[in-house]
Amino acid sequence: MWELSNGHDETPLYPCLTEEVIEESMTLSTTTATLDVLMAIEAMLSRSFTKLEQKEMGMRRINLWTCTRMGEHWERNINFKEPAMNNKTAISRIKPEEDASCPTRPRQ
């Protein structure tokens, strides 16, 4: 303890891991139901996890956004406490968030 308090620490330094950004996009028809949006999200997640599995990496954050022809914009950022390592895990964490705020859901 005395050595640490005097600035002597033999613990090796480990560099911070870099964050990798994977972008996926999909164009949907003009009349899109909530189920279509969720299926599109699942398809894009599947493609993303294919890339991540090759590098043995997980997913810590997902940024979802839509833009319509009329210029309406919707965005949702979802952070995971622990990395999602597969499509099924990520979907189970996203659905409760999306059910409350999906852009195609009727507003009351």
Instruction: Tell me the residue type at 53.
Output: E
Element (DSSP H or E) covering residue 12: none
Residue 104 has pLDDT above 80, yes or no: no
What pTM was computed for the model? 0.62
- Distance (Å, rounded) from C-alpha 40 to C-alpha 35? 9
DSSP string of 33-68? -HHHHHHHHHHHHHHHHHHHHHTT--EEEEEEEEE-
CATH code, residues 2-101: 3.30.1490.100
Q: What angle do CA 34, 38, 44 make, to 5 degrees?
A: 145
Q: Read off the pLDDT of residues 18-52 as tens digits, 9 standing for 90 and up.
A: 778 888 888 877 666 777 878 888 889 899 988 88
